[in-house]
Amino acid sequence: MRSRDARSSREIDTQDEPFPVVDPDPTAAHLGTAAINRLTALVSQPRFWVILMATGLGLYLVSLTLDALKTVFGSAVIAYILDDLITRLERHRVPRVVGVLLVLILGLGVALLTLVWLLPRLVSQLSNIVADVPAIAGLVTARIQHLQQQYAQLISTTYGEQLVTRIASEVERLGSSLVNTMLVGITGTLANLFNGVVVLFLVFEFLRDKKLILGWLSRFLPRPDSRFSAVMREVDREMGHFLRGKLIVIVLLTSAASVAYSILGLESSLFLGVLTGLATVVPYFGAVVVFFPVLLVAYYSHGSTTAMIQVGVTYLILQTIEGYVVSPWVVGHYSRIHPAAVVISILVFGSVWGMWGVILAVPGAIVIRGFLDELARWVSEQHAGSTPAAAAGKAMSSVGAKTPESNAATEGVIL
């Protein structure tokens, strides 16, 4: 009774005060102290500095041998993409070695078909487009001049002609560079068959001895039940799903766009179809950038606005189906990334690594999101463990762990 009277008198005094004193919430301070303690314990371990120095030395050696490691890295990426198909074959009781051989034979056939049939046609169509750039620029210039005659007060003649000339010269330069790059790539691939054999051998070994290689690498990684291992498993699952799904989307969209453009009578339908499919590699921006070349080629091929509108509508329909039907169905978890996060990752990665950064922006965002999700779970656990309810629960559990005699004595004291 005395404790109740004292508590009620304190409440009355607090209500009478103009600025009552409120005890600070210990949650934020507890989280900060826990984070500092964890960081201090981590830094104080010699193993942390050994791993840090080994990582720095490894990155330095990788930078020195980057050209030689491109073959190894490319082989690892190919094996990573093909592993899911081999795992599915294993579920149907196909031995892993047999599954690896079947997948590699199929992939080798597709690569040879691409080299012998697809690439020469792509180079030919791209060369035709580059050769037609001056004519396309002249056509656009004539169209602008026609608009200038109708709206002379709104459009400057000098500015319009300079803009078209500059765009035409830039497109011609980029197209010629792309043609030369593709020709050099084809001749280099045919001439340097040794690298192809090395890649095929490494992919076979990576796929066949996957468990052995991962078991050896796990010796240098944290424990399987650690938070880092949990994050890496989640990143591995989503990254593999994204890469394989995105590859399927590119193939489907390329095939559909090539057939649609061919039906509409475009001479460079195969190249424009491949360009449309590759536009999905860069979300949002790729579809916008590719849209205008497709319209210009369509307008030049047919010379009518109606044909250009038909091609433009077809392009928009294909991109809409890809964005709202195919990608969510095939890629799946990629839709969990917010569009704003995708755009920010493209801008950041692109500013640091250029075109490769733009291409790798979404995979990088997947990795960053995995670590941020785990950080959010850790903060939630720390917050839940620091609340008064959690503290009371721990106290009750500790009380419940005592002997019956101590429990009875404790109950007598509480009552």
Check whether 257 has a pLDDT greater than 90. yes
Nearest to 142 by CA among 341, 348, 300: 300
Tens of pLDDT, residue by residue over 194-237, are 777 888 899 999 999 988 888 888 777 777 667 777 777 777 87
Which carries the bigger pLDDT value, residue 347 or residue 136? 347
Give the pLDDT confidence score for residue 1 in this predicted structure: 47
Pair (366, 308) in one structural domain: no
Q: Determine the pLDDT at residue 412.
A: 36
| Least confident piece of the model among 39-53, 185-199, 363-377 | 185-199
Same domain, 371 and 324: no
Residues 161, 129: one domain?
yes
**Percent of the chain residues past pLDDT 70, beyond the cut:** 68
More confident of the two residues 255 and 289: 255
Domain assignment of residue 316, given as a range: 244-335
On whether both 328 and 348 belong to a single domain, the answer is no
| Per-residue pLDDT, 298 | 87
Q: Is 393 inside a domain boundary?
A: no
Residues 327 and 341 in one domain: no
The pLDDT of residue 410 is 38
Q: Same domain for 76 and 203?
A: yes
The pTM score is 0.67
Residue 239 lies in a domain: no
Residue predicted with more confidence, 140 or 332: 140
pLDDT for the residue numbered 408: 40
Provide the percentage of residues in the chain whose pLDDT is more than 90.
Answer: 14
- List pLDDT tens digits, range 102-122: 999 998 888 888 878 887 888
What pLDDT sits at residue 34? 66
305 within domain boundaries: yes
Residue 128 lies in a domain: yes
Rounded mean pLDDT, 27-56: 70
Q: In whole angstroms, give the CA distance from residue 109 to residue 102.
A: 11
Same domain, 209 and 72: yes
Query: 324 and 341 share a domain?
Result: no
Across the range 359-385, mean pLDDT stands at: 78
**Exposed, middle or buried: residue 334 (CB in 10 Å: 0-12, 13-18, 19+)?**
buried
Q: How many whole angstroms separate alpha carbon 10 and alpha carbon 31? A: 30
Given a cut of 70, is residue 271 above it in pLDDT? yes
pLDDT given at position 188: 57
Show Cβ contacts of residue 175 under 8 Å, excluding neighbours closer than 6 positions: 126, 129, 130, 133
Which of 335, 358, 374 is the endpoint of a domain?
335
Q: Is 53 inside a domain boundary? A: no
Q: Tell me the pLDDT band of 315, cut-offs 50, 70 and 90.
A: very high
Residue at token pair 């294993």: 90
In a domain, 225, yes or no: no
Q: Is residue 228 part of a domain?
A: no
Confidence of residue 184 (pLDDT cuts 50, 70, 90): low
105 & 148 share domain: yes
> With bands split at pLDDT 50, 70 and 90, how would you rate the model's confidence at 393?
low
User: Do 149 and 279 share a structural domain?
Assistant: no
Domain count for the chain:
3
Rounded CA-CA distance 147/114 in Å is 44
Residue 85 forms part of a structural domain: yes
pLDDT of residue 237: 78
**Residue at token pair 């991962």:** 214
182 pLDDT band, cuts 50/70/90, is low
Q: Give pLDDT, residue 285.
A: 85
Specify the higher pLDDT residue, 308 or 51. 308
> Could you tell me if 253 and 328 lie in one domain?
yes
Task: Give the pLDDT score at 261.
Answer: 93
Indicate if 357 and 290 belong to the same structural domain.
no
